[in-house]
Amino acid sequence: MNQGLILKVGLFSFNIQSSIRSLSHNVATLYQDYPDELSEDRTRFIDFHICVEPPNLWHKYYKGQVQFFSDGFAPFTPLPYQHAPAMIEWGMNWCVAQQMNTHLIIHAAVIEKNGFAAIMPAPPGSGKSTLTASLVQEGWRLLSDELTLIRIDNYHVSPFPRPISLKNKSISVIKQRYPGVVFGIESTDTSKGTVVHIRPPKLSIELQGVECLIAWVIFPKYEEGAETELTAKSKAQSLMDVADNSFNYSRLGALGFDVLKNVIEYADCYQFRYSQLDEAIDAFAALELPE
């Protein structure tokens, strides 16, 4: 019997099972550089046991739908077969964001350069993923595209590098700029439009055990035709806005506030508007290192 593939992603191990061809093909493409030794050793503790399968024969043959299961529990409603590759990515995020409280978890991209991290909390549509996908091709290390995990004991970011999700127009933008980037299978007509994931740079995965402090908190906003503009943002407002983008800020209670306060006190906070990726990359390269 197929026991599933066990991957080590950042701090966590995932046992992934699925009989869906497109999904296993996609996982093989996107996750080829991740450590998978645990697949050979079935005696170890695994953090998350996940699968994507049709929930029953009705959904399989009549509705053509599949569902994400976290060890038998289905947090989402079933979706069409062709969304399976995207669904497993959303499911893996769900596992960590909903179940782990050893970190303050922010819905934000996080990248590193010279030993310091920049986090980019932003709602969907702000161009966060396009910017991240470009920056990690320009010398930044990918720590995560979706979930920033901040340790509650020392405020370091624990990397959780995953395939970066691109949507709609940004797919062709990245394809043209970086022809070497490996794309997974497109999921069309999802609630977010067309979604595709790209393979993270190998170095980001090799360094997935290396944590770092946050030097910059940057709220990006893509606006067509806008001048590139990096402006300081007040710490109080930044704290509130990061908290708004957190999955477990209120679950952590006073501790959540404490962690965030320390992060914001140390980091420089900015609002960032851009329309040209080249200028955005330059602006990030010019960020000042903390003393």
Partner 1 sequence: MKKEFPLLLQLFSQKKPVEQLTESEWDLVIRQARAGMLLARLYHVLNTKKHLSVVPKLVMRHLESAKVHAEKQQNDLLWEVRHIAKVADKLDFPVLLLKGAAYAIGGYIASEGRIFSDIDLLVPKKNIADAEKQLMLNGWLSSNKDAYDQRYYRQWMHEIPPLVHMFRGSVIDLHHNILPITTSACPNADLFFESAQSMDKYKNIKILSSVDLIIHSAVHLFYDGELDHGCRDLVDLDALMREVLGQKQTNVNPLSTRAEELGLQRAVFYAIRYTSKVLNTPVMFIGGTMNTGRPNKFILCLMDFLFLRALMPDHASCNDLWTSWARWLLYIRSHWLRMPMHLLIPHLLRKSWIRFTGKTAH
List contacts with partner 1 (CB under 8 A): 42-47, 49, 71-73, 99-102, 248, 250-253, 255
- Residue 90: CB minimum distance to partner 1, A: 19
| Residue number, 21 or 44, with CB nearest to partner 1 | 44
**Among 141, 23, 133, 32, CA closest to 89:** 23
| Residue number, 11 or 23, with CB nearest to partner 1 | 11
| Residue number, 158 or 165, with CB nearest to partner 1 | 158
Residues 76 and 87: beta-carbon distance below 8 Å: yes
- Residue 111: CB minimum distance to partner 1, A: 25
Which residues does 79 contact at the CB level (< 8 Å), separation at least 6? 65, 66, 67, 87, 190
Residues 52 and 163: beta-carbon distance below 8 Å: no
**Distance from C-alpha of 67 to C-alpha of 88, rounded to nearest angstrom:** 9
Entry field: residues in the chain: 291
Residues 150 and 214: beta-carbon distance below 8 Å: yes
- Residue 49: CB minimum distance to partner 1, A: 7
| Residue number, 26 or 158, with CB nearest to partner 1 | 158
Task: Identify the burial level of 274 via C-beta atoms within 10 angstroms of its C-beta, where 0-12 means exposed, 13-18 middle and 19 or more buried.
Answer: buried
**Among 284, 26, 27, CA closest to 137:** 284
- Residue 35: CB minimum distance to partner 1, A: 15
**Distance from C-alpha of 278 to C-alpha of 287, rounded to nearest angstrom:** 15
| Residue number, 217 or 252, with CB nearest to partner 1 | 252
- Residue 11: CB minimum distance to partner 1, A: 8
The continuous run of DSSP H or E covering 251 comes out as: none
- Residue 190: CB minimum distance to partner 1, A: 20
What one-letter code names the amino acid at 269? C
**Distance from C-alpha of 147 to C-alpha of 20, rounded to nearest angstrom:** 26
**Among 117, 157, 165, 120, CA closest to 140:** 117
| Residue number, 42 or 169, with CB nearest to partner 1 | 42
- Residue 58: CB minimum distance to partner 1, A: 11
- Residue 102: CB minimum distance to partner 1, A: 5
| Residue number, 71 or 223, with CB nearest to partner 1 | 71
| Residue number, 139 or 253, with CB nearest to partner 1 | 253
- Would you tell me how many other CB atoms lie within 10 Å of the CB of residue 193? 12
**Among 34, 5, 36, CA closest to 18:** 5
